Structure 1
Amino acid sequence: MAQSVVVGVDGSAESTAAAEWAAQQAHRSGRVLRMVHAGGPQTPLSEQPGDPAESLPEAVRVLRGRLVDALPALEIHCEHVPGSPAHALVAAGEREGLLVLGSRGLGGVTGLLVGSVALQAAAHAACPVVLVRAGADGGRASGDVVVGVEGGRPCDEVLAFAFAQAAERGVGLRAMESLILPAGPYVTDAPMAQPEIRASVAASELVRLQDALARWREKYPEVRAEAEVTGWPAGRALAEASRSAALVVLGRRTPRLLPAAPRLGGTAHTVLHHAHGPVAVVPHE
């Protein structure tokens, strides 16, 4: 198990929200909080004269002080890492196993809810990345963990992360699969039969999803796990579910070929841009 929760901080409102979320995550899981300010000077602060903490932006130092006051038992480390923010933060998160970022940093573009650093990290990191929005109008700490499932076959890495998060919080888990029937003769030529066909296919998918959750229910008996098949597009369904969720968990395929290629699909983009609460992107093969 990772020893730290890594959070990127740059003084923005988004990174402040991310640090607050990460602090609660670290406190809840008994880990150290590692606040990383990336970019800027090419010389690590540890090699600069004077107190390294004093060389950090004032907003970052103030934020650290607030977190220390709010969670005095939490061990907090604060450091500067030189170089490209995206690369530095991804590397730091991968060493510890979890990276938390604000969904838009100081370089964000007006109208976009997710900044370039956050998108790069979510698309390329080999560890789970949690994106947190400042001032989100939804998302509740006591809400369920919602996990998106594709094709009735949840990935072990994604479900392991989602169930662990639900267990740590003492909340339930909702596994959601989107079922959109394709157009075809059975739809266009027999419209009266479409509701029955849709209901039958949805029931079959629900059984498959329930079966996939069975062993995870055994491993986490304290987690109330529910399966749900929806007729909405996956991105829309998960974004709407985020209004009352503690966390939305998505999977991200990691292809063995072209490892440097972006790997965020349409569903992930929709959820990341429109979610009302924190979203975790979990890589898997």
Structure 2
Amino acid sequence: MRQDPGAIVVGYDGSDEAAAAVRWAARHARATGSALNVVHCSLWPLLTRHLGPVPGVSNSGLEQSARSVLEEGVAHAATEAEGLQIKSTLLHGLPAKLLVEISAGEKLLVVGSRGLGGFLGLLVGSVSLELAAAAACPVAVIRQDLYPDGPVVAAVDAEGSPTVLEDACGLASALKAPLTVVHVRHLPPGYSRRGPHEAGTEARKVLEAALNQARARAPGLRVDGRVLTNTSIPRAILEASKEARMVVVGSQGSGVLKETIGSTAHAVLHHAQGPVLVSRRGS
């Protein structure tokens, strides 16, 4: 059985988005005292057998090209966090499948919101959605860091979302950021079976329980919270996290996409302005 706390794994494919993800992962690894594993997934072996160098041309060939991309990713990390323990891993095959496998037992998987090169277009809605639905650890999808001094926003459901709170508290503590816990009181159009007072009381109880858990888990953390009322849970979360440093959501939920990833997480991943952490654990 694995005893170490696991590393932070970051996918790198040579794109600007992936470079931003590597830099974020390096900073977070340094802040949490974690090792960093920079991973590049080469698709070339799936497409051709001719991976070796061109005769008479030094440092040529598809395999060497893949290694150069990986070395570039490591250089981004080393420049961002001097002295950080960095491992590099070159894999061959489909990125989503390989990153899911390598995430088992690790602390965090970090990817860019989109990319080219080895990931064949890492877009929210494809590879990153698959990782958010299937990875064996939390998944951070990094976009531009518009609000580096903003809070971490954690969205909790009616069950209190304990893994969301755990990940959000750890993230906010590492970043030395305030934590805002939000719970959405969902009111579909025309829904009136329960009166507003009853529904509002239940929502406040959910929020208070989550706040108590967050404060107990991270006593030195500045924690506040809000009950949001909206006909759309994702819309409420997105509005509340417009100036967030990171928004943390659960991986499960209701909706037509519940067999892959919760519809709330799906919508937040697509439309959030900044980084998103999908809180999940391996089965």
Instruction: Tell which deviates more after alignment, 178-187 or 99-108.
Output: 178-187
Structure 1 pair 205/34, CA: closer, same or farther in 2 (3 Å)?
A: same
Partner of 2:49: none
Instruction: Report if the CA contact (8 A) 2:6-2:105 is conserved.
Output: no
1:16 aligned to 2:19? yes
Instruction: Report if the CA contact (8 A) 2:184-2:203 is conserved.
Output: no
Partner of 1:281: 278
Instruction: Report if the CA contact (8 A) 1:206-1:227 is conserved.
Output: no
Structure 1 residue 143: Cα displacement: 1.5
Aligned partner (choices 208, 211, 232) of residue 209 of structure 2: 211
Amino acid at match of 1:230: L
Structure 1 residue 235: Cα displacement: 1.0
Mapped partners of 1:207, 1:139: distance in 2:
33
Instruction: Normalising by structure 1, report the TM-score.
Output: 0.79
Instruction: Report if the CA contact (8 A) 1:178-1:230 is conserved.
Output: yes
* Equivalence map 1:220-259=2 (5 Å): 220-232=218-230, 233-253=232-252
Instruction: Report if the CA contact (8 A) 1:108-1:115 is conserved.
Output: no
Structure 1 residue 168: Cα displacement: 1.3
Mapped partners of 2:191, 2:155: distance in 1:
26
Structure 1 pair 80/240, CA: closer, same or farther in 2 (3 Å)?
A: same
Aligned partner (choices 196, 199, 211) of residue 198 of structure 1: 196
* Equivalence map 1:16-95=2 (5 Å): 16-42=19-45, 55-56=65-66, 58-95=68-105
Mapped partners of 2:75, 2:121: distance in 1:
26
1:168 aligned to 2:168? no
SS at match of 2:10: strand
1:158 aligned to 2:159? no
Unaligned runs of 5+ in 1: 188-196, 255-260
RMSD, matched Cα: 2.9
Instruction: Report if the CA contact (8 A) 1:139-1:242 is conserved.
Output: no
Structure 1 residue 199: Cα displacement: 5.9
Q: Percent identity?
A: 35
SS at match of 1:95: coil
Structure 1 residue 57: Cα displacement: 5.2
Instruction: Normalising by structure 2, report the TM-score.
Output: 0.80
Mapped partners of 2:217, 2:34: distance in 1:
22
Amino acid at match of 1:213: L
Structure 1 residue 204: Cα displacement: 4.1
Partner of 1:193: none
Instruction: Tell which deviates more after alignment, 266-275 or 175-184.
Output: 175-184
Mapped partners of 1:145, 1:225: distance in 2:
10
Structure 1 residue 148: Cα displacement: 1.1
Aligned partner (choices 105, 128, 137) of residue 127 of structure 1: 137
SS at match of 2:18: helix
Structure 1 pair 186/121, CA: closer, same or farther in 2 (3 Å)?
A: closer
Structure 1 pair 186/114, CA: closer, same or farther in 2 (3 Å)?
A: closer
Partner of 1:266: 263
Aligned partner (choices 137, 156, 178) of residue 149 of structure 1: 156
Unaligned runs of 5+ in 2: 47-51
SS at match of 1:263: coil
Structure 1 pair 222/41, CA: closer, same or farther in 2 (3 Å)?
A: same
Amino acid at match of 2:91: V
Structure 1 pair 262/21, CA: closer, same or farther in 2 (3 Å)?
A: farther
Mapped partners of 2:247, 2:8: distance in 1:
18
Amino acid at match of 2:237: L
Mapped partners of 2:212, 2:135: distance in 1:
29
Runs of 4+ that moved beyond 6 A: 48-51
SS at match of 1:157: helix
